[in-house]
Structure 1
Amino acid sequence: MIAFSFTLPFTRVAVGGLSPLFIGSGRAVIAALLAIAALAITRQRLPSGRQWVRLLAVAGGIVVGFPLLTSYALVTAPASHGAVVIALLPAATAVLAVIRAGERPPLSFWVLAAIGAVAALGFASIQGGGFGQLGLSDLLLFGAVVAAAIGYAEGGLLARELGAWQTVSWALVVAAPFMIPLAVFTAIQEPPTAEPIEWAAFGYLAVVSMFLGFFAWYHGLAIGPMAQVSQVQLIQPVLSITWAALILGEELTVPTVIGGAIVILCAGVAVRIRLDRSALLTSARDSRG
């Protein structure tokens, strides 16, 4: 999560000289080249037919959806603002884990997850000038949360079968036929004219945020339990807001701090409720066995 916490601030830096479409697609292309090299050198076996289908979901979430949506959102939204909305990701990941695992969490879990969503929506609306002024960047960030949650939950399950780094590598390979032409087209239509600092930020997004960071993350999700591991995501928005203030000089406004605290609190309690429920179910199964 420390590696991922730099994603939003560095995306904000990169969009200063590179188009959002190039950032979203270009970082995936570079990461795909690294993935292909790693898979070839280690001679990994090909995924099965059903695993390819599931890899499409992972690729759609973490390779296509999240990078493109956040890149466009951060053209206008501050990184600290994006970090507060992205704070919904832990609860969203837990929800997807619940759905994929077929568990039945208590009503209190869903209530707190909903409160967190409303808090994030309210924060974004107030920051945008009122509840009637919810900006496009906010909608893009909410979409990025859903996309990442899908990619995290499905990727965590696949990592138990394929391996952690293998899962993200195959997902990058799956997305490559779409992202390579998109990156080339974007570079031709709008040739990059970035400064060295913006290229450096782009390089971090490609190598770390899009590739290396997932080695540890998917490994942790694979070890599980997924809901317990997903709590680590709560560190990300706090660190992202801190980096935005230190690196970008963004002001830590009162609404940002309050909004972030509410969303993080709701997400943390919601995930903890799911954890407690899972522990009870495990204990009940053990007692019957």
Structure 2
Amino acid sequence: MKDKISKDQALQGWINGFIGVLLFSGSLPATKLAIMEMNPIFVTIARAGIAGILALVVLLIFREKRPGKDHIFPLLLVSLGCVIGFPLLSSLALQHLTSAHSIIFLGMLPLMTALFGVIRGGEKPHPVFWLFSIIGSLLVIGYAVAQGISASPIGDILMLSAVVLCGLGYAEGAKLSKTLGGWQVISWALVLALPLMLPLFFIYLPENIETVSFQGWFGLAYIALFSMFIGFIFWYKGLAQGGITTVGQLQLLQPFFGLALAAYFLHEPVSLGMLGITVGVILCVAGTKKYAK
């Protein structure tokens, strides 16, 4: 019976993780739509503020107990990585990069999530794990350097930093989800950031807000509702059910989905180089799966 339950939990973890990845895949293209008409800092604040208010309402409706003192620091890390760090740095990066170019860096996100999962879980991976890790990192860095003249080194650095912080937030949130629950983790992380986001919302509110088009509002609505809240409900639950290093590999699909969305909705060119590097990074991260534990 235990084996059956274990397999059922693993399957549910993959299903929930896959739904989360699908929702996250539209994040960078939607962010690009929003920052084309609004300040990246305001977009970051607005997405966190809207999602934070929604999270607070949900917590009150279900009368969830407040997190314990030992939960506060991990929740702050989730907030730093997923609520503030990744949204802000990726928004700033998209001022210098196309969403298609930035999506290449998402190929490193499974690796970062696994690395922080190993660090936080105290596991000792096989040396081959680190070999694949280094090769994957060098592929991304090498491509970024090669494109530095036509692209933007600043944008690449910002995007790389965003991925590192996001990996930390993913791993920390997955660990907390085992005790707090998936939707509770992201909800409390958003609520912790709310006292900062609400006043900043009015400070950075654009003067030309009435001129923002439907596309701009759609982009903001998507990242606030799906990227910042609903997607995390499925993602954290999936990671907690199936394991951080295992279910985290589903992020390998995100660059492909993201590139397809960028090409279709934003009409951004997707070069063979982008596809080649994305595939190379995905193969490297797939190689870490066997040696993650």
Structure 1 length normalisation: TM-score? Answer: 0.91
CA offset digits 1:163-215 (Å, max 9, x no partner): 00000000001111222222221115775632111101110000110000011
Q: Counterpart amino acid of 2:108?
A: L
Which residue is 1:286 aligned to? Answer: none
CA 1:139 to 1:45, structure 2 compared with 1: closer, same or farther past 3 Å?
Answer: same
CA 1:228 to 1:192, structure 2 compared with 1: closer, same or farther past 3 Å?
Answer: farther
Q: Is the 8 A contact 2:82 2:169 kept in 1?
A: yes
In structure 2, distance between residues paired with 1:212 and 1:175: 17
Q: Deviation of residue 114 (structure 1)?
A: 1.1
Q: Is 1:84 the counterpart of 2:104 in the alignment?
A: yes
Which residue is 1:284 aligned to? Answer: none
CA offset digits 1:85-113 (Å, max 9, x no partner): 12100011000000001010011101111
Q: Is 1:138 the counterpart of 2:162 in the alignment?
A: no
Q: Is 1:41 the counterpart of 2:61 in the alignment?
A: yes
Aligned 1:80-229 pairs, distance under 5 A: 80-129=100-149, 135-187=153-205, 191=209, 193-229=211-247
Q: Secondary structure at the match of 1:187?
A: coil
Q: Counterpart amino acid of 2:222?
A: Y
In structure 1, distance between residues paired with 2:144 and 2:180: 38
Runs of at least 5 residues in structure 1 that lack an aligned partner in the other structure: 279-289
Q: Is 1:69 the counterpart of 2:80 in the alignment?
A: no
Aligned 1:196-275 pairs, distance under 5 A: 196-274=214-292
RMSD: 1.4
In structure 1, distance between residues paired with 2:176 and 2:80: 14
Q: Is the 8 A contact 1:90 1:271 kept in 2?
A: no
Q: Is the 8 A contact 1:22 1:186 kept in 2?
A: yes
**Residues matched between the structures, number:** 273
Q: Counterpart amino acid of 1:12?
A: K
Q: Is the 8 A contact 1:57 1:150 kept in 2?
A: yes
Equivalent residue in structure 1 for 2:39, among 8, 16, 19 = 19
In structure 2, distance between residues paired with 1:79 and 1:205: 14
Q: Deviation of residue 261 (structure 1)?
A: 1.3
CA 1:103 to 1:76, structure 2 compared with 1: closer, same or farther past 3 Å?
Answer: same
Which residue is 1:285 aligned to? Answer: none
Q: Counterpart amino acid of 1:176?
A: L
In structure 1, distance between residues paired with 2:243 and 2:214: 41
Q: Secondary structure at the match of 1:105?
A: coil
Q: Is the 8 A contact 1:17 1:192 kept in 2?
A: no
In structure 2, distance between residues paired with 1:193 and 1:116: 43
In structure 2, distance between residues paired with 1:185 and 1:62: 22
Q: Is 1:30 the counterpart of 2:50 in the alignment?
A: yes
What percent identity do the matched residue pairs reach?
38
Further displaced range: 191-200 or 61-70:
191-200
Q: Counterpart amino acid of 2:120?
A: R
Q: Is the 8 A contact 1:66 1:148 kept in 2?
A: yes
Moved over 2 A (4+): 188-193
Aligned 1:47-58 pairs, distance under 5 A: 47-58=67-78
Q: Is the 8 A contact 1:17 1:194 kept in 2?
A: yes
Q: Is the 8 A contact 1:18 1:192 kept in 2?
A: no
In structure 2, distance between residues paired with 1:28 and 1:134: 27
Structure 2 length normalisation: TM-score? Answer: 0.90
Q: Is the 8 A contact 1:85 1:120 kept in 2?
A: yes
Q: Is the 8 A contact 2:97 2:152 kept in 1?
A: no
